[in-house]
Structure 1
Amino acid sequence: MGYRIRFLVCPIQHLTGIPCSNCGMTRSFMAIAQGNLLEALAENLFDPLLFASFVIVAVHITLKLVTKSRITAFYCHPVKQRKLQIIGLFILLIYYFLLLYKLSQTGEMYSYFINSPLGKLFS
């Protein structure tokens, strides 16, 4: 089904034709909001996790404002650990490089670049 909003364009993908690591986030969030988790995962593997994180934080802040008290968040300690941050970054980079590798093997990356504004500038 593909969720598209014409005026929301990734500037990196628009300029180079090559998707950035966050490309598909808006479409993924729209798919999640409409209950289509498989479509969301197809758009970007990590966006359902990010969406769930946003929901958890929104609920936390709402509870904090409604009760006017300090609520201890279970997620603060793991998020602050440098080792987990580095592991998360490497997982995201590996995922992105695998995506780029797949695009290069199918020839799509070259095609996307040649047809982009930057590719047209160099050709």
Structure 2
Amino acid sequence: MNILFVDDDRLIINAIQRNLRDTSWSIDSALSGPEALIKIEQGHYDVIVTDMSMPAMKGDRLLKEVRALDPSITRVILSGYADQSLQLDDAELAHRWLDKPCDAAYLAEVLQEIESERRLL
């Protein structure tokens, strides 16, 4: 499974890559929404996991563009903004919403579930 993580915080990206390095998944990263869109246009991703609060492009706009480019990509929000109203507004944009900080084992478990679900489709 090819996964693209998008976050403007390099430390978070590094931690995610370190925690998932022993999996069979191909892990890629982007530090902004525009960079993520370029990568999606140039490659194949099964899952995108994005932060919501980024300077160049907010996560909701990124997810709208990803959905338009390739609706088959599973979209996951990983954000420190736990506001329930935002979660409801963004429910149509993402298949999953995870709160930051997110335990590495739980993130891996969610990605495993997504991989299993994608196999069924």
TM-score category of the 2 structures, normalised to the smaller one: under 0.3
In the superposition, the TM-score normalised over structure 2's length comes to 0.28
| Greater share of strand | 2
| Greater share of helix | 1
In the superposition, the TM-score normalised over structure 1's length comes to 0.27
Higher relative contact order (CA 8 A, sep 6+): 1
